[in-house]
């Protein structure tokens, strides 16, 4: 049987870790959005200078932009739902936060898998 003191310490440690995860995921999401903005700026400047093909530049920007935005948005939602859950103690908000984290890692897994296949097919 778990004593109340050990259970309380576990609960405190878990909420502290979730709060840290929420803060770091917010930082990473903001960095991703800023990077997306810089990528758009780089593409626009490249198109103005005539570097590269217009169609491939715009297509690449759209594809990578949508993926980056969806991933950053899911990280922001995880952060906000988790932080709200820590403040109110609402388990449904925590579940919603983990749902968005699951979507983030699903997209990241598909992205990493396709990159892995591309690397191995090139060599």
Q: 102: how many CB neighbours lie within 10 A of its CB?
A: 12
Contact 50, 56 (CB under 8 A): no
Nearest CA-CA partner of 77 in 11, 28, 16: 28
Total domains, the chain? 1
Q: Is residue 63 part of a domain?
A: yes
Residue numbers of the domain that contains 37: 14-122
Q: Is residue 3 part of a domain?
A: no
Q: Is residue 57 part of a domain?
A: yes
Q: Report the distance separating Cα 65 and Cα 59, nearest Å.
A: 10
Q: Is residue 9 part of a domain?
A: no
Q: Is residue 91 part of a domain?
A: yes
> What are the backbone angles phi and psi of residue 17, rounded to the nearest 5°?
-65, -40
The pLDDT tens digits along the chain (123 residues) read 444 443 455 566 788 889 999 999 999 999 999 999 999 998 888 888 887 778 788 888 899 999 999 999 999 999 999 999 988 888 899 999 999 999 999 999 998 998 888 888 877
Q: Is residue 6 part of a domain?
A: no
What's the whole-model pTM score? 0.80
Q: Is residue 4 part of a domain?
A: no
């Amino acid at each position: 049987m778990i004593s109340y003191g050990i259970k309380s310490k576990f609960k405190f440690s878990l909420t502290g870790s979730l709060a840290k995860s929420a803060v770091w995921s917010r930082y990473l999401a903001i960095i991703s959005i800023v990077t997306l903005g810089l990528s758009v700026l780089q593409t626009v400047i490249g198109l103005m200078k005539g570097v590269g093909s217009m169609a491939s530049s715009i297509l690449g920007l759209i594809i990578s932009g949508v993926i980056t935005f969806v991933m950053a948005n899911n990280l922001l939602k995880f952060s906000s739902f988790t932080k709200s859950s820590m403040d109110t103690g609402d388990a449904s908000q925590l579940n919603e936060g983990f749902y968005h984290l699951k979507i983030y890692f699903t997209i990241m897994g598909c992205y990493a898998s396709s990159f892995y296949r591309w690397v191995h097919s090139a060599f």
